[in-house]
Amino acid sequence: MNKLNYTYLNFGFFNVSTSKKLFITLHPGCSSLLQPSGPGAFFHSTIRKNKRRYQIVDEVSINLKRIDEVFDPIKSTIHLLKLDTQGTEFEILEGMGAIRPLLIQCEVSTFEFYKNQKILIDILELLDSFGYFPIVLPSKHGHGDAIFVPKLDSIGFKIYSSNPVAYAAILLIYGLSEFANFAVDFYESYDQ
Residue 1 in any domain: the answer is: no
What confidence category does residue 13 fall into, taking pLDDT thresholds of 50, 70 and 90?
very high
Length of the chain, in residues: 192
Domain with 140, as residue range(s), is: 73-188
Q: Looking at the structure, do residues 40 and 121 belong to the same domain, yes or no?
A: no
Name the residue among 39, 127, 34, 131 with its Cα closest to residue 86.
34
What are the angstrom distances between the C-alpha of 116 and each of 25, 38, 46, 74, 119?
Answer: 17, 9, 21, 33, 9
Which pLDDT score, from 0 to 100, does residue 181 have?
Answer: 95
Paired residues of 175 in beta bridges: none
Which pLDDT score, from 0 to 100, does residue 192 have?
Answer: 65
Which pLDDT score, from 0 to 100, does residue 50 have?
Answer: 72
Q: What is the CA radius of gyration of the chain?
A: 18
Structural domains counted in the chain: 2
Q: Looking at the structure, do residues 89 and 183 belong to the same domain, yes or no?
A: yes
Helix 177-188 vs helix 154-161: angle between axes, to the nearest 10 degrees? 100
Q: Looking at the structure, do residues 26 and 82 belong to the same domain, yes or no?
A: no
DSSP sequence for 129-163? HHTEEEEE---STTEEEEEEEE-SSHHHHHHHHT-
Q: Looking at the structure, do residues 52 and 109 belong to the same domain, yes or no?
A: no
Mean pLDDT of the chain: 91
> What is the C-alpha separation between 38 and 32, in angstroms, rounded?
14
Model-wide pTM > 0.75:
yes
Residue 2 in any domain: the answer is: no
With 0-12 CB in 10 A as exposed, 13-18 as middle and 19+ as buried, what is 111? middle
Q: Looking at the structure, do residues 99 and 156 belong to the same domain, yes or no?
A: yes
**pLDDT, tens only, 146-167:** 999 999 999 999 999 999 999 9
**What SS3 state is found at 184?**
helix
pLDDT at 139 over 90: no
Q: Looking at the structure, do residues 51 and 102 belong to the same domain, yes or no?
A: no
> What is the C-alpha separation between 79 and 162, in angstroms, rounded?
9
**pLDDT, tens only, 47-80:** 767 778 888 999 999 999 999 999 987 777 899 9
pLDDT at 190 over 90: no
